[in-house]
Amino acid sequence: MKRLVVKIGSNILADEKEGLNTKRIFSIASDIAELKDEGYEVVIVSSGAVAAGMRKLGLKHKPRDIKLKQAAAAVGQSSLMWAYERSFGEFHATVAQVLLTREDFSDRKRYINSKNTLLELLSYGVVPIVNENDTVATEEIKFGDNDNLAALVSVLVEADRLVILSDVEGLYTEDPRFNPRAELISFVEEITVDIERRSGRAGSSVGTGGMYSKVLAAKKAVSHCIAVNVINGKKKGLIRAILSGKQHGTFFKPAPCRLSHRKGWIAYNSRSKGTLVLDEGAVKALTGMGKSLLPSGIISVEGEFELGDAVNCTDLKGGRIAKGIINYSSSDLRKIMGKKTSEIEKVLGYKYSDEAIHRDNLVLL
């Protein structure tokens, strides 16, 4: 059975003046119901709560104040879920509301619990409707977007494909709103710096993500061997069309190798509590030889952290090269950095491990 994550943005579901577009929600529900009948498991990552709440509160423009955004999200979430409930009900499909915050991904236990809940819902044929818990998650409203959430959910449920519904056809050589000669990029072999540059940074008036955030989301997903499509979400039938092999929008080719789920969690979900600056020998050992990080290769320790926290590793120029789970607290690490493993117990009075970060808990970036 194939598993699919469909991300639907605010600009697809809602209008700044009119609020929720219930006809479009019904159209999307119709498409997804057909996919379910064909054997697909589908998770929806949906924006639209804030946009729906704007109309109910009589707001003419997207609020910038965090508290007002939270209020709009609280008011709009019920309308959004009712629209999904009613639309999917027409096709005898059951939906479930799942609200997540970044902590549900950064905390390992909550991450596993979220995964188990979503997989259990899918096993019962339910369509989970995932959204960020905007009402309480101030940081997510201010800095997050649902493109990123969709990529994280895709990894969480081990999806085969992520489909991002956009208000444009896909990724272009330039912004088509300003250059009518811009050409659609139908296939992306690898997400390079040039691809990121072409995607720009601007978002919509009712959403937080533009094409740039979609490309960054695709970058995360493809690194886990998940295929990604960015297509026009205002055109009915395109999801089925791309799944049958037809070309629409932009296809991002998945990487050939999949990170283990633990390393994927370390790379993209764990929150870094500090930074280790490494000497040239340590950088070479990690990047070229697949070795663990020893205290002897650490030049300096930045930040405060405890055993089991995630930390970044940088070279002498500040370039991030790796991220991993540390075996010593920052205070202990400052005492043993630059020293041989044989000296650890003498300095600290104990030795938890020869390695500062074991290679099994280390991900190259």
pLDDT of residue 254: 92
Pick the range with the lowest mean pLDDT from 181-185, 201-205, 323-327, 328-332: 201-205
Do the Cβ atoms of 133 and 97 come closer than 8 Å?
Answer: no
How does 159-192 read in b/e, with b if 16+ C-beta sit within 10 Å? Answer: bbbbbbbbebbbbbeeebeeeeebeebeebeebe
Tokens 């390079």, located at residue: 192
Show binding-site residues for ATP. 7, 166-167, 208-214
Helix and strand numbers, DSSP H then E, in the chain: 15, 15
pLDDT band at 142 (very low <50, low <70, confident <90, very high): very low
Dump pLDDT digits (tens) for 97-141.
Answer: 999 988 888 887 888 889 889 999 999 999 999 998 866 665 544
Q: Give residue 140's pLDDT.
A: 43
Question: What's the mean pLDDT when you consider all of the chain?
Answer: 88
Neighbouring CB atoms inside 10 A of 279's CB total 15
- pTM confidence score: 0.76
Q: Which residues of 98-107 are buried (b: 16+ CB within 10 A; e: fewer)?
A: bbbbbebbbb
Who has greater pLDDT, 269 or 203?
269
pLDDT in tens, 40-58: 999 999 988 888 888 888 8
**Residue 289 exposed, middle or buried by CB count within 10 Å (0-12, 13-18, 19+):** exposed
Its CATH class, for the domain covering 271-364, is mainly beta
State the DSSP string of 149-218: HHHHHHHHTT-SEEEEEESSSS-BSS-TTT-TT--B--EESS--HHHHHHT-S-B-SS-S-BHHHHHHHH
Q: Is the pLDDT of residue 339 over 70?
A: yes
pLDDT, average across residues 9-28: 84
Q: Annotated binding site, which residues?
A: 7, 47, 134, 146, 166-167, 208-214
17: pLDDT confidence band, cut at 50, 70 and 90? low
Question: What percentage of the chain carries pLDDT values higher than 90?
Answer: 59
Residue-wise pLDDT tens digits, 174-185:
888 788 888 999
Highest mean pLDDT among 13-27, 85-99, 129-143: 85-99
Better-scored residue on pLDDT, 161 or 223: 161
Binding residues for substrate: 47, 134, 146
pLDDT recorded at residue 207: 39
| Mean pLDDT, rounded, for 87-96 | 96
pLDDT grade for 16, boundaries at 50, 70 and 90: low
Which one is predicted more confidently, 179 or 314? 314
> How high is the pLDDT of residue 65?
79
Domain boundaries, the chain: 3-262, 271-364
CATH class belonging to 3-262: alpha beta
Please determine, for residue 240, whether its predicted confidence score (pLDDT) is greater than 80.
yes
pLDDT at 144 over 70: no
The stretch 182-202 carries a mean pLDDT of 85
CB burial readout 127-137, b (16+ within 10 A) else e? bbbbbbbbbeb
State mean pLDDT over 278-286.
94
Model pLDDT, residue 138: 57
Q: Which residues pair with 192 in a beta bridge?
A: none
